[in-house]
């Protein structure tokens, strides 16, 4: 089964129904619900997602959305070593560096994000949800 690390934008595309990306995130999470994919994320991503969602749908709405989504996601921790690697990396975006090194630390070789430009030198596969689904023959 594929282990996939999902970034904030892919989660927000689903929960905030952001067109035109909503469809691809919905398909991705449907495959997780069907146990065809294992989706992973970090507490930092969930916190960032909550921060954005609460402005759109309120605190209770954001918590409820994340509760439902959490059933489909494995949450992996970031360690001191991940933070140190992120601080000393060439990544321009510190948050992306944390996500990258968190995925590496947990043996996850695919990161799904729409922010591809910050992962230019990644040693893992970095794709948009759409590209991942097409490349793997899932749509």
Give every CB contact of residue 101 below 8 A, 6+ residues apart in sequence: 78, 81, 82, 85, 86, 89
**Polymer length in residues for the chain:** 139
| Domains of the chain: residue spans and CATH | 2-135 (3.40.50.1010)
Q: Which pairing describes strands 125-127 and 73-75: parallel, antiparallel, or unpaired?
A: unpaired
User: Tell me: the pLDDT tens digits for 14-63?
Assistant: 999 999 999 999 999 999 999 999 999 999 999 999 999 999 999 999 99
User: Tell me: the pLDDT tens digits for 56-82?
Assistant: 999 999 999 999 999 999 999 999 999
pTM for this model (two decimals)? 0.93
Sign for the pseudo-dihedral over CA of 113, 116, 121, 125: positive
pLDDT at 121: 86
The number of beta carbons lying within 10 Å of the beta carbon of residue 116 is 13
């Amino acid at each position: 089964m594929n282990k996939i690390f999902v970034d904030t934008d892919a989660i927000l595309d689903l929960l905030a129904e952001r067109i035109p990306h909503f469809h691809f995130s919905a398909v991705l999470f449907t495959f997780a619900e069907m146990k065809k994919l294992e989706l992973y994320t970090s507490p930092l991503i969930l916190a960032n997602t909550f921060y954005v969602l609460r402005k759109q749908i309120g605190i209770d709405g954001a918590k409820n959305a994340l509760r439902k989504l959490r059933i489909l996601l494995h949450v992996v921790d970031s360690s001191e070593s991940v933070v140190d690697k992120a601080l000393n990396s060439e990544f321009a975006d510190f948050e992306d560096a944390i996500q990258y090194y968190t995925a590496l630390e947990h043996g996850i070789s695919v990161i799904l994000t729409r922010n591809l430009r910050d992962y230019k030198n990644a040693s893992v596969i970095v794709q948009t949800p759409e590209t991942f689904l097409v490349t793997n023959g899932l749509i």
